[in-house]
Structure 1
Amino acid sequence: MATEENEEEDAKPDTPRRRRWRRIRRIGYWTFGLLVGVPLIAFWVAYLVLDVRSPQEVLAGLDKTVVLKYSDGSTLLKVIPADGDRTFVPYSQVPAKLRDAIIATEDPTFWDNQGFDPTGIGRAFLTGVGGGSGITQQYIKKSTGDDDATLGRKFAELVLATKITQEQSKEQIFESYVNIISFGRGTFGPAAAMNAYFGKKLDDSITWSEAAFLAGMIQSPSVHDPAASGDAHAARRWEYVRDKLKDRGYVQSDEKMAYPGAEVQAPSETRAGRVTYDEFHIKQQVLAELEQDGFPLGRLQQGTMTVETTLDHGMQDAAKKALQERLKSEPKEFRGAVVAVDPKTGAVRVYQGGDQGVRDYASTPHAAGSAFYPFTLAAALRRGYGPDVPVPAPEEQEFLGEKFKYPDVCGLKCTPRTAMRAHADGPFIALAKKLGPDALSDTARQAGIPETVDGTPTMREKDGFLIGPGIAIGRYPLRPLDMAGAYATFAAEGRRTTPHLVAKVRDESGAVVWEHTDTARPAFDEDGDESRRIAQDVTGTLTDGGGAALRTGEAEHGSSPDNQDAWAVGYTPQLATAVWIGSDDDRRLKDASGAKLTGDVVPADIWRGVMAAAHQDATARPPAAGPPPVVRPPR
């Protein structure tokens, strides 16, 4: 019948319209062939040519040491997998709860797909949020050590995922996958992970809560480990896995599960004394930074790589000594952190997160208090206010519905300059009222305060959107790392860089495989001269007679009259340094003499000690000069 119709069609007169449609059909056939046929042929050829590495090869290749070095080339520390971390766990010995938690989180279609989930890949492509790689693809990625974000690599990954699905059973694939992935803390495989986090042997006694915790580590262990990011962040990740288990029917919706934070042990390397606590903080920060740049721990260990950090050996030791020496005569509850940043490059020269436990105080947010005022001043300068324009401020003021009462320290003629030096709070609350909370937040972000920390918005209320009245007095918590980086923008005369601890990554041959690149850019205005003027005016209000710009401050939480955080943050053209002193339980800070602790006492002493050691061979002349600051006595 079709032949007769074709003959009838051919018998029709050959008109221009028929010729045009004939060309269109030919183009359509060729287009369809190119879009479908060529990829299929390429897929088939790649399927025949490419080979999948055996799990035995992969496991043997993971036993590598990663060396972290100071900027002078001396060894900082080594990341060595703990004994037993390579213990192979057969599929039959992987507890069902842990297996289900991993599959529910990483690849819900694992048992049925042909190596990859087209829906997941399509969703990741359309939303642009990443992800989309299932368990088989992750195994291919880990086994090849190739994590490059290229179409060629992704195509090869899909081919190999399909091929291994044909060659091995799903049980064999899962067994290989779960034994080569990193769970963090230098562990590979579920047995080592269970021991590292819970100090237990891996068996069927594992709880759903423990299984959800371990499954949550797989995606980004350097970030999700509570020792690195705190229990609040780790709990949010655990809740995500718990919800996946319930949504996908592995756990009954009414099953009671609790975040097992109290059961999680301190990292094994600190308990064993393999590294000190302050070195552990550096290690975690470096690994988290590299993970964001496409170098997770597994990839580093596969390639016997060396990480060159930005840390200055001498300055790091001097900061540790200054912190320890000054705190040894103070109450034992005191905790401290020091971060120093090179204003020109953003290189972190000092990173001291404390040596009294696994909590990293340098990357933990603390209320900034009056150390936030330079950002308020910069916001005013952006709006045309001069540093010497009077800012009347009555003792009682209301801002966004909250009443503030501070003594009138410098009278009706008080200017931002005199207010900064007299540690007067009222004028800065008055400026906040004139400028609005968004102006303060925006300017702090321009200086370098990040939008989020561990997924939580900074300088916002708990809802993540509103800016409350507390921004006027620095009530919102900020990290010492970010404060040092933001003050570095003032030191660099209004040019901003990104604080970083990693300079380069080298492979076994010494070749550079990754290098930090960053270009300084104007922070406060697209016009570089205007941004410079703003920064110089801020520096002029902070500069003392000793040739450095310093702001000491403290923070009062809520309506409490007692300060819980004390800061000293300042800079020279060569270095911006932030010092924080506080406690684990936000108690009122009183020094050894019983006096209320303020920023110009213990924190300032530590700051001066660090800066003196750092500038032994340098001339510390600030971009602008000014009279010495007036420090506020304890009150």
Structure 2
Amino acid sequence: MLVLVGAVAAVVWERFDEPEPRYVVLQYADASELWRSGEPETPLVRQIVRELATRASLSLDQLRNTGAVVVTTIDARAQSAAAAAMRERSAAKASVTAVDPARGAVRAYAPGGDPAVDFAGGVVKEPGSVFFPFTAVAGLQEGKALGEGDAQRAIAIAHRAGVPEFADVAGTRTKLLDGAGGGLRPLDLASAHATFAADGVHRDAHFVTHVTDVHGATLYQALDTPQPAFDRDPVRSKEIAQQVTKVLRDDPACGNDLYMACRAGVWPLEPAPARHAWMTGYTPELAVAVFVGGDEAGGAVDAGLPKAVWGTFLEKLRS
């Protein structure tokens, strides 16, 4: 007789909790939230992500997988003041960029009202007369009058002061200050003028202080790499920077502020109608570059608008 013994199999279902989703969180310098992954990427966010990819070899996907927290250099109050200044002055195709001379930290990066166009780091424009400080340094190095230095020497000085030779502009590797009349980005101008504000010591402009993972471990820390810009001798570099700053402090555009060094400029030079305009100003605490561009048809811009935005920005910072 054949006896079949039936076995009863018990199936035990184990419950696995779904892993919590991880985000990349960008913070202002005061640790308040600036952005998190999943939200629309602004030009500022793209600059931060690009910097992390270049300097820390960290992609956005890698950051997301580790639940990274990115502490930026951006000052929330300065960022708000820059955006408000452009809005109140109806400066749409404009930007305000501010850099801390003592650290190279970008404190404000307001790239305009169009989220698709970065008017701070995504345009390359001729600097016009705001390039004067670099030709002034060239003149001092050559024993000539201020502003009469060799053009190619002045370009080399601008590179040492903070204008990179190449930059990623709208996804294209672009040569900056490419010969006489060559262009640069407003971000570069703020960085280079910060070198004068720091008495001739250049620090690379940067957006990120440090990055940590979900457990608080440090993934990246920005380094301070000061270099004398205008002479190998730091004392001589300081002397040159101070001579140029003294001239810029006497510029009527500065008004009655005894500690402000400034320069305004347009392109092309007068008497041609201005197609874009600049205002730069710096103290030992902050270097600010304001850019205002024209329309796509090349219409003239109000040459006084950058100064108006600049003044409004400073008023808001001081209030």
Write out the 4+ residue segments of structure 1 that deviate beyond 2 Å after TM superposition.
60-64, 611-616
Q: Which of these residues, 255, 280, 290, is aligned with residue 42 of structure 2? A: 280
For residue 459 of structure 1, give the secondary structure of its aligned residue in structure 2: coil
Q: Which of these residues, 33, 43, 63, is aligned with residue 75 of structure 1? A: 33
Tell whether 2:312 aligns with 1:553: no
Where do residues 19-168 of structure 1 align in structure 2 (5 Å cutoff)? 64-80=22-38
Distance 1:540 1:316, change over 3 A: same
* C-alpha deviation, 1:437, in angstroms: 2.7
Tell whether 2:98 aligns with 1:371: no
The corresponding residue for 1:349 is 107
Distance 1:553 1:305, change over 3 A: same
For residue 532 of structure 1, give the secondary structure of its aligned residue in structure 2: helix
Q: Please tell me whether the aligned partners of residues 286 and 502 of structure 1 are also in contact (alpha carbons under 8 angstroms).
A: yes
Q: Please tell me whether the aligned partners of residues 66 and 78 of structure 1 are also in contact (alpha carbons under 8 angstroms).
A: yes
Identical amino acids, percent of aligned pairs: 35
User: d(CA) in 1 for partners of 2:21 and 2:273?
Assistant: 52
Distance 1:458 1:280, change over 3 A: same
Please give the root-mean-square deviation of Cα atoms over the aligned residues, in Å.
2.1
Tell whether 2:26 aligns with 1:320: no
Where do residues 63-462 of structure 1 align in structure 2 (5 Å cutoff)? 64-80=22-38, 274-275=39-40, 280-292=42-54, 293-327=56-90, 334-363=92-121, 364-385=123-144, 389=145, 416=146, 428=147, 431=148, 435-454=149-168, 455-460=173-178
User: d(CA) in 2 for partners of 1:295 and 1:587?
Assistant: 39
The corresponding residue for 1:569 is 280
Distance 1:560 1:65, change over 3 A: farther
User: d(CA) in 2 for partners of 1:359 and 1:379?
Assistant: 34
The corresponding residue for 2:239 is 533
Structure 2: 5+ residue runs without aligned partners? 1-17
- Residue by residue over 1:511-554, the C-alpha shift from the partner in whole angstroms, topping out at 9 and shown as x without a partner, is 22211002212111111110001100111111143121110111
Higher helix share: 1
For residue 264 of structure 2, give the secondary structure of its aligned residue in structure 1: strand
Q: Please tell me whether the aligned partners of residues 63 and 301 of structure 1 are also in contact (alpha carbons under 8 angstroms).
A: no
Superposition TM-score, scaled by structure 1 size: 0.44
The corresponding residue for 2:292 is 581
Q: Please tell me whether the aligned partners of residues 62 and 298 of structure 1 are also in contact (alpha carbons under 8 angstroms).
A: no
Q: Please tell me whether the aligned partners of residues 139 and 150 of structure 2 are also in contact (alpha carbons under 8 angstroms).
A: no
Tell whether 2:200 aligns with 1:494: yes
For residue 476 of structure 1, give the secondary structure of its aligned residue in structure 2: coil
The corresponding residue for 1:603 is 306
Distance 1:61 1:520, change over 3 A: farther
Q: Please tell me whether the aligned partners of residues 346 and 485 of structure 1 are also in contact (alpha carbons under 8 angstroms).
A: yes
Q: Please tell me whether the aligned partners of residues 61 and 302 of structure 1 are also in contact (alpha carbons under 8 angstroms).
A: no
Higher strand share: 2
Distance 1:555 1:62, change over 3 A: farther
Structure 1: 5+ residue runs without aligned partners? 1-59, 81-273, 329-333, 390-415, 417-427, 461-466, 591-596, 617-635
User: d(CA) in 2 for partners of 1:451 and 1:61?
Assistant: 45
Higher relative contact order structure (alpha carbons within 8 Å, sequence separation ≥ 6): 2
Q: Please tell me whether the aligned partners of residues 43 and 115 of structure 2 are also in contact (alpha carbons under 8 angstroms).
A: no
Using the TM superposition, name which of 546-555 and 577-586 deviates more.
Answer: 577-586
1:361 alignment partner AA: F
How many positions carry a matched residue from both structures? 290
1:508 alignment partner AA: V
1:337 alignment partner AA: S
Q: Please tell me whether the aligned partners of residues 112 and 119 of structure 2 are also in contact (alpha carbons under 8 angstroms).
A: yes
Q: Please tell me whether the aligned partners of residues 267 and 277 of structure 2 are also in contact (alpha carbons under 8 angstroms).
A: yes
Q: Please tell me whether the aligned partners of residues 480 and 579 of structure 1 are also in contact (alpha carbons under 8 angstroms).
A: yes
1:338 alignment partner AA: V
For residue 199 of structure 2, give the secondary structure of its aligned residue in structure 1: coil
Q: Which of these residues, 477, 484, 505, is aligned with residue 183 of structure 2? A: 477
Q: Please tell me whether the aligned partners of residues 458 and 476 of structure 1 are also in contact (alpha carbons under 8 angstroms).
A: yes
- Residue by residue over 1:222-247, the C-alpha shift from the partner in whole angstroms, topping out at 9 and shown as x without a partner, is xxxxxxxxxxxxxxxxxxxxxxxxxx
* C-alpha deviation, 1:382, in angstroms: 1.8
User: d(CA) in 1 for partners of 2:130 and 2:102?
Assistant: 22
2:112 alignment partner AA: G
1:447 alignment partner AA: A
Distance 1:535 1:615, change over 3 A: farther
